[in-house]
Structure 1
């Protein structure tokens, strides 16, 4: 868990929130639980989208099980906090 939190902490700066509607698209992609990489690819280029996903995980707008190592197939879903901020 500590490794996951340390990784996500690297994305805590607001610059990783994304530009325009990117964060909203990320939250929508994870309205239903789905693998991390699947949701990222649904939104666009993973190189641009994954930092937004990690920031949303750090900020509590998305959630996943942090007890297991983060990997591309880990299930991610939008939280109630992610829904309220929209």
Structure 2
């Protein structure tokens, strides 16, 4: 397992950790916990966008299996991360 050293800084009343590009996350939310040894564990949380819409479509009988499969395939295909120049 690769290990890197990074920076911890204050962001308002919270602490933040700079995540190096090698460990970039493809989400905007994570769950964070501490194990018995005191190590922090970060797990990405996938966005559940569209769940309410899908439930409504199922309730109306408007979402057939092909439609749902196409939506799920589109959701699962990730766009590449944009590379940007630093300031």
**TM-score (ref. length: structure 1):** 0.24
Higher relative contact order (CA 8 A, sep 6+): 1
Larger radius of gyration: 2
Between structures 1 and 2, the one with greater strand share:
2
**TM-score (ref. length: structure 2):** 0.24
